[in-house]
Amino acid sequence: MIEIIQYIVLGIIQGFTEPIPVSSSGHVMILNNLLNTNIDIGLLAVLTNFGSLIAIIVLYWDRIKTLFLDFFNYLKNDDPSSKENFRYCILLIVATIPAGVMGLVVTKLGLFDVLEKNIKFIGVTLLITAGFLFLIRNIKGKKDNKHITLKDAIIIGLFQVIALVPGISRSGSTIVGGMLRNLKRDTAFDFSFLLYIPISVATTMLGFKDLFSSNLSFIIIIYYLIATVIAGFVTYFATKWFRNVVKNGKLIYFVIYCLVVGLLVILFL
């Protein structure tokens, strides 16, 4: 009973922190350290990420469907009415490439294997996240979707690379990148979360491959899947809440939170 409660708690934490700029993987590591469990945190993070992915797809389904249809409509018919969404898709693809390439390199070389197990390093990266968020706390931006440039997409993509470092928030880094490029708050938010989808799909595929090629018992697999479902539901509501926070320019709360938690982790864990 205690074991399944641990999976449920970690699923809730993963789901809530996935969309907000505080690093879901970092928080799961912190909580796992406090609970002293034997759960494979790396596998849990990847699988619960699938639940979060489904939540984001549900939230953005109408937008995703429109982008998909317009992308192929423009390719096939050169329809001017689809050009803007075709261009937006190209920008998302371009922004995905840096993290996609670096992700393969990092995984192949195991560049962060040691850091991923260093809880105090997570404290440091939370302080770095606080610094990033502090930089953009008052920026409102002027660019909407049609004004995003290729350079903007590349820079946002490079900020997503930073999130490969354990403890750095993906949503936080890409939103920071977008707002530093003068994107409106909601424009940066939407681009960040649509950008999350292709990377998350690739990560999820690898995670399920690891799950079903492992020697885990049937009941442990069920626990992982329960945590995944819970993470999805929590991410759905957390994302909607966080969108309002960004829109209203209240990122200073996350600055304070990351600063306090980062210091506590460094000093006491």
Sign of the torsion angle spanned by Cα atoms 64, 65, 67, 72:
positive
Q: What is the pLDDT of residue 160?
A: 93
What is the rounded CA–CA span in Å between residue 48 and residue 45?
5
Q: What is the pLDDT of residue 52?
A: 93
Phi, psi of 10 (to 5 degrees): -65, -35
CB 99 within 8 A of CB 199: yes
Q: What is the pLDDT of residue 20?
A: 93
Nearest Cα to 203, choosing from 57, 45, 20? 45
Nearest Cα to 149, choosing from 195, 95, 99? 95
CB 29 within 8 A of CB 41: yes
CB 138 within 8 A of CB 145: no
Nearest Cα to 166, choosing from 210, 125, 219? 125
Query: Alpha helices, DSSP H only, in the chain?
Result: 2-17, 24-35, 41-59, 61-77, 83-109, 119-136, 150-162, 170-180, 185-212, 218-247, 252-268
With a cut of 50, which residues of the chain have pLDDT below it? none
Q: What is the pLDDT of residue 47?
A: 85
